[in-house]
Amino acid sequence: MIAMVLRRLAVLPIVLLAIYTLTLALAWAAPGNPLDRPEGRRPPRAVIEAMQKQYNLDSFPRFYVSYLESASGVRWVRDRLAGPVDPGRPVFDLGPSLQYEDRRVNEILADSLPVSMTLGASAILLATFIGVGAGVIGALRPGSWAGGVSLALAMVGISLPSFVTGAVLILIFGVWLGWLPVGGWGTLGQLVLPAVTLSLPFAAYIARLTRMGMIEQLSSDHVRAARAKGLPEHTVVLRHALGNAMLPVVSYLGPATAYAMTGSFVVERVFRVPGLGEHFVNSVLNKDLFLLMGAALTFSVMLVLFNLAVDVLYRWIDPRISDDRA
């Protein structure tokens, strides 16, 4: 397992370099000038040209190299070897934001990423609890009303977009019943509705994966053998069937967790949550290359690390999986 982890970590810079190159090429090719927008302040032409030269926005090769050196920490290491550096200077400098005046991308990520991660982690935990429970019930009682309800909830969770679910929850629990706040951030009550809204699509997929895995495992030879030994039904389900049935769920949780923590911009917009998603959308609309690349690289690192965690969990759940099958 250690060899597999080291292998994946060694490949990480290559994967991030490929993502960086492709993302920057697409963002650079998009129309628009981040320094000259119809809305807001419009600097004089001479000022725009000076800012383009300062940030290397007038040359794709120069911007590619300079930003890569800064974001990867190469420039910090080089300056550190040449002499002392500013103690407040970050090792991985993601540059200034072209959209938010006097703010750097590192500061924006430090403020917004913990919010998105808290919301995403809460949603994934809730989705796992709901999805696994509904999937197990649907597999154990396929013809009962409980099984039918679990399938119906799975279909609703997959079919309804998040902004519709969020609006319905706001109307019911925030406006009609008045139980929960409808927006903002900072209290447990403000976390409930966005977490539930974000969790439902993930819970639906987890329920489907769990149900299919449980149906397959319950008809397997080792489960029939366990039942033939006279083991209690809950022992058969929890110890002999559920573990193997969770393998597809664990595989899905890797990218799902990364997406929930960084890609929940629709839910964040509906509930006015100050997370990373809204900044990422605005960076695309305003062609803020520094913020766009910083958010994309952050998402990519999280996605690779969560997939690595999935592979480690695979081997913990089923030790028969060898490193050669990674």
Question: Quick check: 227 pLDDT over 70?
Answer: yes
Q: Is residue 24 a part of any domain in this protein?
A: no
Compute CA 279 distance to the chain's CA centroid, rounded to the nearest angstrom. Answer: 15
Q: Would you state the pLDDT for residue 319?
A: 63
Q: Is residue 1 a part of any domain in this protein?
A: no
How far is 293 from 110, CA to CA, in rounded Å?
15
Q: Is residue 54 a part of any domain in this protein?
A: no
Q: Which two tokens stand for residue 142?
A: 């396929």
Question: Quick check: 40 pLDDT over 70?
Answer: no
Q: Coil, strand, or helix at residue 180? A: coil
Q: Is residue 139 a part of any domain in this protein?
A: yes
Question: Quick check: 284 pLDDT over 90?
Answer: no
- Residue 207: give the domain boundaries: 114-286
pLDDT tens digits, 158-189: 778 888 888 899 999 988 988 899 888 888 88
Q: Kindly state the average pLDDT of the residues 32-42.
A: 61
More confident residue, 42 or 67: 67
Under a CB-based contact definition with an 8 Å cutoff, are residues 27 and 287 in contact? yes
To which H or E segment does residue 125 belong? helix 105-140
The four Cα atoms 255, 11, 277, 117 give a dihedral, to 10 degrees, of 70
Question: Quick check: 134 pLDDT over 60?
Answer: yes
Q: Is residue 11 a part of any domain in this protein?
A: no
Counted domains in the chain: 1
- Confidence (pTM): 0.83
pLDDT tens digits, 272-283: 888 888 788 888
Q: Would you state the pLDDT for residue 326?
A: 46
At residue 5 the predicted structure's pLDDT band, cuts being 50, 70 and 90, is: confident
Task: Count other Cβ atoms within 10 Å, centred on residue 310.
Answer: 18
At residue 25 the predicted structure's pLDDT band, cuts being 50, 70 and 90, is: very high
Q: Is residue 213 a part of any domain in this protein?
A: yes
Give percent of the chain above pLDDT 90: 23
Residue 281: give its domain's CATH number: 1.10.3720.10
How far is 194 from 198, CA to CA, in rounded Å?
6
Q: Is residue 200 a part of any domain in this protein?
A: yes
At residue 136 the predicted structure's pLDDT band, cuts being 50, 70 and 90, is: confident
* Mean pLDDT score of the chain: 83
Under a CB-based contact definition with an 8 Å cutoff, are residues 114 and 261 in contact? no
Instruction: Quote the crossing angle between the two packed helices 289-317 and 2-29, to the nearest 10°.
Output: 150
How far is 60 from 143, CA to CA, in rounded Å?
61
Question: Quick check: 47 pLDDT over 70?
Answer: no
Q: Is residue 307 a part of any domain in this protein?
A: no
pLDDT tens digits, 78-110: 988 888 888 888 889 998 888 887 889 999 999
The four Cα atoms 241, 254, 191, 107 give a dihedral, to 10 degrees, of 160
Give residues with Cβ within 8 angstroms of 262, minimum separation 6. 113, 116, 120, 276, 277, 280, 295, 298, 299, 302
